[in-house]
Amino acid sequence: MRQLLSRQSLFALAPAALFLAACGEQPKTSTPPTPITTKSDTGSPVTASGKTRIALLLPLSGRAAPIGQSLQQAAEMALFDTGAKELALAAYDSGESADTAVEAYRKARADGAALVLGPLFGTSATALAPLVAQGGANVVSFSNDEQAAQRGVWIMGIAAPPQVRRVVDYATDQGIRRFAAFAPQTPYGQQMVQTMESQVTLRGGKVASVELFDPNSADLNTPARRLAEATRGEDKLAILVPVAPPRLTSALTALAVAGIDNKSVQLIGTGVWDIPNIGQETQLRGAWYAAPDPAKRADFERRFLATYGRPPHRLATLAYDGVALAGHLARLKPGGDFSAEAITNPNGWSGVDGIFRFLPNGRSERALAVIAVQGGQGTVVSPAPTVFTSPTN
């Protein structure tokens, strides 16, 4: 279960200057949950050479193993980039189930981990909460599932609701007051629609229509026609289409057949569009979505490719920034400060995906850019903030 990182990667970390729904859930298992008990014999959080032990809980086996490997390599790269000496990382296989994640957490604690980075899946992060509450090490999960968030278990992944709020705010600032949605009738689609409705109301706009389509249906033309009929009007209209490729092509085609295209309305979306070559969807040209500014990530991706010979998984930046965070915390005082108060510093932290901060309730807040789909790459039309100006809640 336990896999040590290479000896050369056990360095300290100097300060570091989205389809992301994949880290919310994991394959279901029929195994009953393992009873939660604490382990009294925990090891020292500091190695004999004075380094602080940090655990990485990653899916190093099962279907998500390629993602776990990419995250592990990004964590190693964060250490290589700095050459510092405060941190000793060890990776533990959190597998595909909550039970495996609990076992990995217990092993990490037995080894003395002062902070746990990971696991990837929201259900696994939720399963660790009782162990943390019983005096275990705090967890910074790579999940974006806000339902798993609570004090002691922070969610580092880029959650989808803030993406919707950001792009709605930008559209409103551009003078758009009417909104609609064409979304799959799934928990994700419904959550995105509800977020849009509440944010539009908050900004004084109007939701003209919402169409939730059957994600398994071949007929998207019928709901698209209903949406077109319900949104006729002279005022500028923005339509939220929280749909990922390849289903996105069918959704956009159905809207175009119904008379809705990127020339007649403003299409807006979420981070499921934050993928390479999204501009190949010609019907999406000019559409807006919210995501981290891609410029800094591009440099990370180039360096990762040069180091490992293949591009990183999109989520790899989370591990890189997680190790950066651990490095900051390790230098706050002798032995480090991995307390809730330190983690939730209201000034936040800076990473490859921009600035972020953790809230007392376990959620995270990120500064997102608004990106317009143009050609092969997106163009930032509203930069991500560089500082947090409002207090945490």
Instruction: Tell me how many domains the chain contains.
Output: 2
For 146, 251, 359, 382, the CA distances from 347, given in Å and listed in that order, are: 21, 40, 11, 22
Nearest 5°: phi and psi at 26?
Answer: -140, 170
Same domain, 214 and 248: yes
Range of the domain at 192: 160-291+371-382
**What would the mean pLDDT of 252-266 be, rounded to a whole number?**
93
- Which pLDDT does position 276 carry in this prediction? 81
Residue 392 has pLDDT above 90, yes or no: no
- Which pLDDT does position 376 carry in this prediction? 67
Q: pLDDT tier at 280 (50, 70, 90 boundaries)?
A: confident
* 104 or 377, greater pLDDT: 104
Strands (DSSP E) contained in the chain are 2-4, 52-58, 87-93, 115-117, 139-141, 153-155, 178-184, 206-213, 237-240, 266-269, 288-291, 349-351, 354-358, 364-366, 369-374, 377-382
| pLDDT tens, position by position, 7-51 | 222 222 222 223 334 354 444 333 334 443 344 468 899 898 889
Contact (Cβ atoms closer than 8 angstroms) between residue 101 and residue 41: no
Same domain, 33 and 69: yes
Q: Which two tokens stand for residue 13?
A: 């970390």
Same domain, 41 and 151: yes
Same domain, 142 and 55: yes
Same domain, 154 and 164: no
Same domain, 218 and 244: yes
Q: Which two tokens stand for residue 114?
A: 């002062």
| pLDDT tens, position by position, 318-362 | 999 999 999 999 999 988 999 999 999 999 999 999 999 999 999
Same domain, 310 and 356: yes
Residue 387 domain flag: no
Same domain, 21 and 83: yes
| pLDDT tens, position by position, 76-93 | 999 888 655 789 999 999
Same domain, 41 and 168: no
Residue 392 domain flag: no
CA dist 33 and 386 (Å) reads: 42
**Rg of the Cα atoms in the chain:** 22
**What is the pairing mode between strands 369-374 and 288-291?**
antiparallel
Least trusted range by pLDDT, from 31-40, 59-68, 101-110, 199-208:
31-40
Residue 389 domain flag: no
Q: Considering only CA atoms, which of 157, 139, 3 is closest in space to residue 65?
A: 3
Strands (DSSP E) contained in 69-223 are 87-93, 115-117, 139-141, 153-155, 178-184, 206-213
Residue 391 domain flag: no
Q: Which two tokens stand for residue 21?
A: 């729904």
Same domain, 100 and 167: no
SS3 387: coil
Same domain, 96 and 185: no
SS3 9: helix
Mean pLDDT (the chain, rounded):
88
- Which pLDDT does position 30 carry in this prediction? 34
Contact (Cβ atoms closer than 8 angstroms) between residue 140 and residue 343: yes
**What would the mean pLDDT of 105-110 be, rounded to a whole number?**
97
Q: CATH number of the domain at 273, please.
A: 3.40.50.2300
| pTM for the whole structure | 0.84
What residue type is 161 in one-letter code? P
**What would the mean pLDDT of 124-133 be, rounded to a whole number?**
97
| pLDDT tens, position by position, 202-216 | 999 999 999 999 999
Residue 148 domain flag: yes
- Which pLDDT does position 25 carry in this prediction? 47
Residue 375 has pLDDT above 50, yes or no: yes
Same domain, 249 and 358: no
- Which pLDDT does position 83 carry in this prediction? 59
> Quick one: 49 exposed, middle or buried, by C-beta within 10 A (0-12, 13-18, 19+)?
exposed
Name 54's bridge partners: 89, 115
Residue 320 domain flag: yes
